[in-house]
A and B are shown apart, each in its own frame.
Chain A
């Protein structure tokens, strides 16, 4: 038994190494990974990196074009746009990761139950997911955010719930394909509980598609959250959220275009990086594409 476990652990490490090796051969994925790492770094150390506070107003210096003192210029209150974008990465990454976390847990739980037990539970859960899927996800997020009211946490919940059905579907699909395999039967035969089988045997074996979907999902969540802030739901000023900054700069687009250009660029680079990484991960984890 011990030997077997040790071997398994060794194998899974080898697997991770192998995946990383394959990932490292995809230059775009590595660029994506590097950008994500940098973003996480700026989000964590925003206090040290940002030259100004995100709410520091200096009305004498309002509407300044990008310069040495203000890399990306200043907004209508004279706040430094560069600093606000740095602090904004905190909000976007938080929303992205936590919303996806909510969706993975809720969707994974529902999908695992639906796939493992089948029958009535499966029908009930998946029909409910179909209903959620029949509302375009950004609209569902808008509807939920509108009735929960403003706030970062409500925004995360709205975005999380709106992407839950995707994970339920993926996990259900993977569970269905694994449910009848021999190692699951073996686990049943030695008397493992359902919960233990699902958590210890089934979930680890369908992690690959979840990881891929979650990486791409963080991108979608950030995009959705920015869209919601853009139309005035979610984050409240003066908290710097990229979508809200874009929306605020829109009034001054004719004279001060840089106010909308930089926050948009920040969103796009973040999404692009996550998409590159997600695509690379999918290729690295897909056994069909192994060379």
Chain B
């Protein structure tokens, strides 16, 4: 087991190097001179050149990339053009809201998706199943930003039940988390259902039924554990979608998270902040995936056995 964990953590390194390379390359090819962006339009040509030399902006691509990684390891990924503050500070102060939003939506997705999926599978082709599947399909097809707007329209503007912006009270968290969770609920439901249906057709389930085992025990003890293994993977991948979707959700509900920060930054052409947000979210996503893989190894004895 230890070997597996060590291997999996080692696997993270090339991914992080790769992500930083992509983020740096995108910054590099972005039109516009970073020196001009920092110094402003009034700066003299000499001041710009001096800045370029001082910051090493005239060095070859790979040298600059090396310096970027070296600095990034010390937590320095540049300064925001807008606020002149370090990008890391900006992002880290916004990060808790984003993580909270994504985690809350994840919990909603699991709490709704898994039970609905199981019941749909047990009662395949029933009315419950058909209705759930249609809802899941609609949820899958609903643009996050549109759902958010409709919820605001209905619950904030019409009924005046819930606030339409902010993220500091429980009431304010309800609409954004539901908005962001909708697609994941649909995906988890569909995945749980199809995985459950596949497991239920297996021979050992037939055996359990044949020996006269109670149906509830067959489902809960024999089928569920195996059916949930692929669901764990999907849930882990969903976290990435949630972090990405948070960018849109935050900008709809004016939540002070990384996503809104990035959207503001896009409007102001503050590229270091945009790419910094991507870097941080990719790292968070990779760590979550690592966690999911470890959970996976823990619940699936076949993986444990490989690394005994």
B72 is an interface residue with CB less than 8 A from chain A: no
Q: Are A272 and B271 in contact, CB atoms less than 8 angstroms apart?
A: no
Find the A residue at minimum CB distance from B21: A131
Of B85-93, B214-222, B241-249, the one contacting chain A is B241-249
Report chain A residues within 8 Å CB of B153: 253, 257, 260
Report chain B residues within 8 Å CB of A136: 240-241, 243-244, 281-282, 285
Given that A138-B245, A272-B137 are known contacts, is A132 also in contact with B22, CB under 8 Å in the complex? yes
A9 to chain B, nearest CB (A): 35
B78 to chain A, nearest CB (A): 14
Given that A131-B15, A135-B19, A231-B263 are known contacts, is A268 also in contact with B30, CB under 8 Å in the complex? no
Report chain A residues within 8 Å CB of B31: 147, 149
A250 is an interface residue with CB less than 8 A from chain B: yes
A100–B247 CA distance with the chains assembled, in angstroms: 23
In-complex Cβ contact of B266 among A127, A142, A219, A246 (8 A)? A142
Given that A127-B18, A131-B22, A227-B248 are known contacts, is A139 also in contact with B146, CB under 8 Å in the complex? no
Report chain A residues within 8 Å CB of B142: 268, 271
A223–B19 CA distance with the chains assembled, in angstroms: 24
A230 is an interface residue with CB less than 8 A from chain B: yes
A267–B143 CA distance with the chains assembled, in angstroms: 7
Number of chain B residues whose Cβ lies closer than 8 Å to a Cβ of chain A: 49
B153 to chain A, nearest CB (A): 5
Find the A residue at minimum CB distance from B289: A134
Report chain A residues within 8 Å CB of B247: 138-139, 142, 231
A143 is an interface residue with CB less than 8 A from chain B: yes
* A194-234 to B contact mask, C-beta < 8 Å, 1/0: 00000000000000000000000001000100110011110
- Residue of A130, A135, A254, A260 ringed by the most chain B CB atoms within 10 A: A135
B144 is an interface residue with CB less than 8 A from chain A: yes
A219–B267 CA distance with the chains assembled, in angstroms: 26
A237 to chain B, nearest CB (A): 14
Find the A residue at minimum CB distance from B263: A231
Find the B residue at minimum CB distance from A271: B141
B208 is an interface residue with CB less than 8 A from chain A: no
B138 is an interface residue with CB less than 8 A from chain A: yes
B35 is an interface residue with CB less than 8 A from chain A: no
* A128-159 to B contact mask, C-beta < 8 Å, 1/0: 10111011111110111011110000000000
- Residue of A134, A140, A219, A223 ringed by the most chain B CB atoms within 10 A: A134
A206 to chain B, nearest CB (A): 22
A287 to chain B, nearest CB (A): 15
Q: Are A272 and B138 in contact, CB atoms less than 8 angstroms apart?
A: yes
Q: Are A227 and B145 in contact, CB atoms less than 8 angstroms apart?
A: yes
Report chain A residues within 8 Å CB of B14: 127, 131
Report chain B residues within 8 Å CB of A135: 19, 22, 278, 281-282, 285
Find the A residue at minimum CB distance from B183: A223
Given that A139-B247, A231-B263, A260-B146 are known contacts, is A131 also in contact with B18, CB under 8 Å in the complex? yes
Q: Are B146 and A142 in contact, CB atoms less than 8 angstroms apart?
A: no
A127–B16 CA distance with the chains assembled, in angstroms: 11
Q: Are A147 and B15 in contact, CB atoms less than 8 angstroms apart?
A: no
Q: Are A147 and B29 in contact, CB atoms less than 8 angstroms apart?
A: yes
A27 to chain B, nearest CB (A): 12
B26 is an interface residue with CB less than 8 A from chain A: yes
B110 is an interface residue with CB less than 8 A from chain A: no
B140 is an interface residue with CB less than 8 A from chain A: yes
A56 to chain B, nearest CB (A): 25
B251 is an interface residue with CB less than 8 A from chain A: yes
Report chain A residues within 8 Å CB of B282: 134-136, 139
Report chain A residues within 8 Å CB of B131: none
B157 is an interface residue with CB less than 8 A from chain A: yes
A171 to chain B, nearest CB (A): 20
A264 is an interface residue with CB less than 8 A from chain B: yes
Given that A131-B19, A146-B271 are known contacts, is A231 also in contact with B143, CB under 8 Å in the complex? no
B48-77, CB < 8 A from A:
none
A132–B26 CA distance with the chains assembled, in angstroms: 13
A223–B245 CA distance with the chains assembled, in angstroms: 11
Q: Are B263 and A267 in contact, CB atoms less than 8 angstroms apart?
A: no
Q: Are B141 and A264 in contact, CB atoms less than 8 angstroms apart?
A: no
Report chain B residues within 8 Å CB of A272: 137-138, 141
Interface residues of B (CB under 8 A from A): 14-15, 18-19, 21-23, 26-27, 29-31, 137-138, 140-146, 149-150, 152-153, 157, 240-241, 243-245, 247-248, 251-252, 262-263, 266-267, 271, 274-275, 277-278, 281-282, 285-286, 289
Known: A232-B263, A243-B143. 18 other contacts (CB 8 A): A131-B14, A132-B22, A135-B278, A136-B244, A139-B247, A142-B278, A143-B23, A146-B26, A146-B30, A146-B266, A146-B271, A147-B30, A226-B145, A227-B144, A230-B143, A230-B145, A268-B142, A276-B137
- 14 A-B residue pairs with Cβ-Cβ distance under 8 Å, sorted by A, are A127-B18, A130-B18, A132-B22, A136-B241, A138-B248, A146-B271, A147-B30, A227-B248, A230-B145, A231-B263, A233-B266, A246-B149, A260-B149, A279-B137
Interface residues of A (CB under 8 A from B): 127-128, 130-132, 134-140, 142-144, 146-149, 219, 223, 226-227, 230-233, 243, 246-247, 250, 253-254, 257, 260-261, 264, 267-268, 271-272, 275-276, 279
